[in-house]
Amino acid sequence: MSTEPTWAHRGIWALFAVALLIKAAYLYAYTELPFLDGPVGDSTVYLTQAQAVRAGRFGDPSLLAFSPLYGYLLAVLPGTWSVVVLQLWLGLANLAILYWALKPRFGAIAALLSSCLYLGYGLLLFYETKILTETLGLSLALWALLAFVSQGFSHARWPCTLGAGVLVALAVMARASLIFGIPLFALVSLAPRASAEAWKPRLQRTAGLVLGVSLVLGAYGLWTQAHAGTFVLVRYVAPSTSILSRSSSQSWNENLSDVARGGPDRVPSAWDVVDAVAADLKRLEDGEPETGSRPLDAMLEIDVLGWLRGSPGKLWTTLSDTERTFQYGYYAEREHIAALAVLPFTFHVLLILGSLGAIFLVRRDRLRSLLPYLPWFVGCLITTPLYHPSSRYRLAMVLPLLALG
């Protein structure tokens, strides 16, 4: 009898212990930095969301302007310390879930190596200590991906297809930038997963996934209709709050001001969006015609020619090895916290290993075997040319790379 499963079983527990030590050391060193007591940027909006939820103001502009799910999570937690501890535990859980989900698919050793890649990519740990949606959104996106590639989903079992749709929708509710993943998941679920697969299971998979997504987003839309007077699927979208017309037409010069609302001479602020939503809601209260909550209108603002010109540069930047975190300095923090500095893997390591894994998978099981891993990856490649190639917008790309790496 092979001893490999026993070795791998011990290996995941050893990796789990190492991860626990690294996270504890990171948290201890993090107390010397000011960010838990003085969050900046988007973090201040999410904390305002939590205050609004606690006060029962479910139609507050902060909840409509930014991805809402994180604000509801913060509302049930007592303080920023509890948020960070929860996110660190989510990171540990994801490491274990990745192993146990991939083990029956690729083998114990491959699953253990994927978990090592997860732990070794420092940006994931970096975001676990920030009052930002990244850890929650990435966790939900990971669980959605693992449900999507499961045998239960392939066999069109309703609990699996419905659950995958719910997880996809919740991931988007936590990170609105993942929105383009929804139609991609639906398209891939309709594709055959075996040679000459009949249409019935493919339609059942798609129907279950779409139903799960619709239940979550539809319920939230009715919630916002009841409390804010407008139906919002994920985020409030209107000409006054969208930056697509500018961001899609601008080439990327490493400066958020170039694509921000108000033009290149103005320092962008997370509160610009909240203030614009508040102004739109005030007009709605005053009886003026509604202009918001129409995603199609915002998409029509895209400068198609500018988007085509700027996309190659933005895609090249998206796939580069530099982390662009803007609000919190990843590289500066890594210089001060040894627990972050010891983590060895960069984005390019994940990209190279994931790409090789994809090639080997296609050689073994044909192109259709790769399709279920593509929605989050391709969705990020759609998002970054439309907006800007930040590490936050591309973060979900690492999930298929981890699974295939």
Question: Residue 268 burial by CB count (10 A; 0-12/13-18/19+): exposed, middle or buried?
Answer: buried
Q: The whole model's pTM is what?
A: 0.93
CA separation for the pair 168, 376 (Å, rounded): 10
Per-residue tokens: 65:
């302007």
Residues 6+ apart with CB under 8 A from 253: none
pLDDT mean values, one per 10 residues, the chain (405 residues) = 65 94 95 86 95 96 95 94 96 95 91 96 97 97 96 95 98 96 97 90 97 98 94 82 70 72 63 87 76 58 77 92 93 94 96 96 93 96 90 96 95
CA separation for the pair 84, 59 (Å, rounded): 26
Angle between helices 108-120 and 347-365 (to 10 degrees): 160
Dihedral of the alpha carbons of 205, 380, 177, 182, in degrees to the nearest 10: -10
Yes or no: say if 233 and 221 are a contact pair by the CB < 8 Å rule: yes
DSSP, res 372: G
Looking at residue 2, what is its pLDDT? 44
Looking at residue 38, what is its pLDDT? 83
Per-residue tokens: 31:
């107390």
Looking at residue 299, what is its pLDDT? 62
Q: What is the DSSP string of 155-223?
A: TT-HHHHHHHHHHHHHHHHH-GGGTTHHHHHHHHHHS-SSTT--HHHHHHHHHHHHHHHHHHHHHHHHH
Looking at residue 1, what is its pLDDT? 40
| Cα separation values, 258 from 246, 247, 254, 305, Å | 8, 8, 8, 17
Residues 6+ apart with CB under 8 A from 135: 87, 90, 91, 124, 127, 128
Per-residue tokens: 191:
């594709």
Question: Residue 376 burial by CB count (10 A; 0-12/13-18/19+): exposed, middle or buried?
Answer: buried
Looking at residue 112, what is its pLDDT? 94
Per-residue tokens: 99:
């192993």
